Amino acid sequence: MISLNLNDKKILLIEDDTHIYELLKAMLKSYNTILTFKKNGESGLKEALTENYDLILLDIMLPKKDGWEICQKLKQENIPTPIIMLTAKAEETDKVLGLEMGADDYVTKPFSPRELTARMKAVMRRFENSNQDNISNKLEFPDINLTIDIKGHKVYTENETITLAPKEFELFLFLARNKDEVFSRKELLNEIWGYENKQDTRTVDEHVKRIRKKLKDSDLKDIPLKTVWGVGYKFEIKS
């Protein structure tokens, strides 16, 4: 199961604003996180190339070498560390350019600590999931004769193939990967749909309802999508 917290993570912050560093340091105080701070592009790039980190938080407007150059260089050198770009620029073109250069996400200043924490967790979870996909293309749950074909975007029971719509599959796969872990509706909206629909929690309920119906129609003996009343949903198989 992939952890939702930031405990024991090594994070590199390349940012010329000391106030951002102080904010992050306070934000991560409750976690056992190692936060390294570099104030210019040259020292930040050197650090990212020579040390291993779980996540890089990268400002765009930096002295000596900007964030675009750093991101591009890290990708050229095949540094796999996920990158979240931090910038005061809110233009759509900047966001697109950062993602095209290989950034994994983009947060516009000023940001709330809660939002940044959620983005950090989401990016690291996607990175770990991607690594898992390279090891295995399937998730198997033999107790209920259920198989999830990750590459094929299919779900198989003992006697039937279940076809899920893209977001249904993404939601089902996410919960299955994080078996027994409870997620609120807002957390699931952030993970699967991004932040655009974060107030519309009915979206999650409707997708769960449709997935459950498809699983029930396939005569699956245990429907693993469970409701945790007052909290959200989890993927659980009865022992």
pLDDT tens digits along 178-213: 888 999 888 888 778 765 445 567 888 999 999 999
Task: Please tell me the distance from the alpha carbon of residue 238 to that of residue 1, in angstroms, as a whole number.
Answer: 17
Q: Model confidence over 48-76: pLDDT tens digits?
A: 999 999 999 999 889 999 988 999 899 88
Smallest Cα–Cα separation from 187: which of 127, 112, 84, 114?
114
- Residue ranges in the chain whose pLDDT is less than 50: 1-4, 196-197
Domains of the chain: 10-131 (3.40.50.2300), 136-235 (1.10.10.10)
**Dihedral angle computed from the Cα positions of residues 210, 192, 183 and 209, in that order, rounded to the nearest 10 degrees:** -10
Task: Please tell me the distance from the alpha carbon of residue 130 to that of residue 143, in angstroms, as a whole number.
Answer: 25
The gap from C-alpha 144 to its chain's centroid, in whole angstroms, comes to: 28
Q: Confirm if 143 and 223 have CB atoms less than 8 A apart.
A: no
Q: Would you state the pLDDT for residue 196?
A: 47
